[in-house]
Amino acid sequence: NAGVTQTPKFQVLKTGQSMTLQCAQDMNHEYMSWYRQDPGMGLRLIHYSVGAGITDQGEVPNGYNVSRSTTEDFPLRLLSAAPSQTSVYFCASSYQEGRPQHFGDGTRLSIL
Amino acid sequence: GQQVMQIPQYQHVQEGEDFTTYCNSSTTLSNIQWYKQRPGGHPVFLIQLVKSGEVKKQKRLTFQFGEAKKNSSLHITATQTTDVGTYFCADSGGTSYGKLTFGQGTILTVHP
């Protein structure tokens, strides 16, 4: 099993560009989530999903969109990148809400 | 919303010394999960505490949940260089059941 796979691992964007961060898991987990990690601030929840077709906002959702058309995939879209979105993004999954989460390797994103 | 405060932010120890990180909340924690993130890596689940006063051990690591469920701690006995990394606590309850709220993390450096 690959677990949680995130692509790309690194990305540099210009302000105003859009892009999609990919996340896929092969553990048949219902719960998936996106976090951003900034120095000194821990991990902050952006969006999460409790199953295919169901998504909801987390603590810092502005500037990001998500969709969940399948159990396996949970992409994160940046609509118009801003320097404040420079961060490390982690996707995570668990078989149920509140259960231990399995994290992907992360995407290191820089917005110039 | 739910806030989880973690102290200290940094800890430098000599190999063989003990280390403790604390997780505190002004409101009752539902349950606490602890994660470890190696430098450049992703968070990895260590343990979950659910019951008031619960104590769990994993080799040199001891995890405690306070009697009032407002604090938790992770203690490492006789640190080794392999313990280097950031330790996070996360609460998965409160008003937003299932959405993990992470502390800011404690960065542990172990000098050989």
Question: Mutating which of B9, B29, B56, B102 best tests the A interface, going by the most A Cβ atoms within 10 A?
Answer: B102
Question: Mutating which of B44, B96, B100 best tests the A interface, going by the most A Cβ atoms within 10 A?
Answer: B100
pLDDT at position B98: 58
A104 CB near a chain B CB, below 8 Å?
yes
Q: In chain A, which residue's Cα lies nearest the Cα of B86?
A: A42
Lowest mean pLDDT among A11-15, A98-102, B12-16: A98-102
**Residue A97: which pLDDT band, with cuts at 50, 70 and 90?**
confident
**Residue B2: which pLDDT band, with cuts at 50, 70 and 90?**
low
Q: What is the pLDDT of residues B5-64, one digit of tens each?
A: 999 999 999 999 999 999 999 889 988 999 999 999 999 999 999 999 999 999 999 999
pLDDT at position B64: 98
pLDDT > 80? residue A106: yes
Residue range B64-86: mean pLDDT, rounded: 97
C-alpha dist (Å) from residue B40 to A10, A104, A106: 12, 12, 9
For residues B101 and B91, is the Cβ–Cβ distance under 8 A? Answer: yes
| Spatial distance between the Cα atoms of A30 and A4, rounded to a whole number of angstroms | 13
B112 CB near a chain A CB, below 8 Å?
no
The closest CB to that of B98, out of A98, A105, A106, belongs to A98
Q: What is the pLDDT of residues A18-50, one digit of tens each?
A: 999 999 999 999 999 999 999 878 899 999 999
For residues B100 and B91, is the Cβ–Cβ distance under 8 A? Answer: yes
pLDDT at position B1: 57
